Amino acid sequence: MDCRNERAKRRAERIKANGGSHTKKEWETLLAASPRCAECKREWCEIPARPDKRYKHVWTKAHIVPVYHGGSNDISNIQAECYQCNFKKNAGRLKK
């Protein structure tokens, strides 16, 4: 198994351990109420298309408190961010 699969497996385990969940409808409602990125405040139409053409949208789900630091997967811990802001984040060292 390559490192990407291992990392995804560990992340899924953290999400399960941290608890919380949200439905597709809750995410769509949150996204509809978010006309711009929560971080950089640019409107979705101002953000360049993703370089990888497999992805149609410029927005991503972002955890306010990172899963890595115990944040839940509940909708109250999710915000809409552009892929550029979300991908440049780093959760940092694991808190003990």
Domains of the chain: 3-88 (1.10.30)
How high is the pLDDT of residue 72?
96
How high is the pLDDT of residue 91?
64
Cβ 55 vs Cβ 77: under 8 Å: no
- DSSP reduced 3-state for 69: helix
Task: Kindly list the averaged pLDDT for each block of 10 residues, start to end, along the chain of length 96.
Answer: 81 94 97 97 96 93 93 97 90 62
Q: Cα–Cα distance between 23 and 41 in angstroms, integer?
A: 25
How high is the pLDDT of residue 95?
62
Rounded to two decimals, the pTM is 0.83
How high is the pLDDT of residue 55?
93
